[in-house]
Amino acid sequence: MARIPPIRMGLSRRDFLKICTIATATMGLPVEMVEKVAAAVESSERPPVVWLHFMECTGCTESLLRSSHPPLARLILELISLEYHETLMAGAGEQAEEALKEALKKYKGRYICVVEGAVSTKDGGIYCQIGGRPAIEILREVGEEAGMVIAIGTCASFGGVQAAAPNPTGAVKVSQVLSRPVINIPGCPPNPYNFLSTVLYILTFGHPPELDDLSRPKFAYGRRIHDQCPRRPHFDEGRFVESFGDPAHQQGYCLYKVGCKGPVTYSNCPVQRFCDVGTWPIGSGHPCIGCTEPSFWDRMSPFYEHLPKIYIPAGGGIRVEAEKVGRVAVGAAAAVVAAHATIGAAKKVLKSISGKEKDQEE
Among 231, 264, 296, 345, binds ligand SF4 (CB under 6 A): 231
How are beta strands 48-53 and 148-152 bridged, if at all? unpaired
Among 282, 300, 307, 330, binds ligand SF4 (CB under 6 A): 282
Among 260, 269, 307, 345, binds ligand SF4 (CB under 6 A): 260
Among 38, 55, 203, 291, binds ligand F3S (CB under 6 A): 291
Residue among 134 and 308 whose Cβ is closer to ligand F3S = 308
Distance CA 53, CA 87 (A): 8
Q: Which does 70 bind (CB under 5 to 8 A by kind): ligand FSX, ligand SF4, ligand F3S, none?
A: none
Residue among 64 and 225 whose Cβ is closer to ligand SF4 = 225
Distance CA 165, CA 170 (A): 10
Whether 207 has a binding-site annotation, put simply, is no
Whether 288 has a binding-site annotation, put simply, is yes
Q: Which residues contact 346 (CB under 8 A, 6 or more apart)?
A: 238, 312, 316, 318
**Which residues inside 263-282 make contact with ligand F3S, applying CB under 6 A?**
265, 267, 269, 280-282
Among 219, 256, 266, 280, binds ligand SF4 (CB under 6 A): 256
- The backbone torsions φ and ψ at residue 83, rounded to the nearest 5 degrees and listed phi first, read -85, -30
Displacement of CA 300 from its chain's centroid (Å):
15
Residue 257 Cβ vs ligand SF4, minimum distance, rounded to whole Å: 9
Among 71, 217, 263, 290, binds ligand SF4 (CB under 6 A): 263
Distance CA 325, CA 89 (A): 42
Q: Which residue type is seen at 236?
A: D
Of 47, 125, 130, residue with least CA distance to 87: 130
Decide if residue 203 touches ligand F3S (CB under 6 A): no
Decide if residue 258 touches ligand SF4 (CB under 6 A): no
Phi-psi region of 356 (alpha: psi -120 to 50; beta: other; left: phi over 0): beta
Distance CA 15, CA 22 (A): 11
On the question of a cis peptide bond just before residue 189, with omega within 30 degrees of 0, the verdict is yes
* Per-residue contact string for residues 288-307; x = within reach of ligand SF4 by CB under 6 A: x-------------------
Residue among 120 and 292 whose Cβ is closer to ligand F3S = 292
CB-based burial, 257-284: b 16+ in 10 Å, e otherwise:
bbbbbbbbbbbbbbebbbeeeeebbbbe
Decide if residue 204 touches ligand F3S (CB under 6 A): no
For 2-132, where are the E strands, in sequence order? 48-53, 81-85, 112-116, 119-120, 129-130
Whether 260 has a binding-site annotation, put simply, is yes
Whether 188 has a binding-site annotation, put simply, is yes
Residues that bind ligand FSX (CB under 6 A): 56-60, 116-117, 153-155, 160-161, 188-189
| Contacting residues toward ligand F3S, per CB under 6 A | 187, 225, 265, 267, 269, 280-282, 288-292
Residues in binding site for [4Fe-4S] cluster: 57, 60, 155, 188, 226, 229, 254, 260
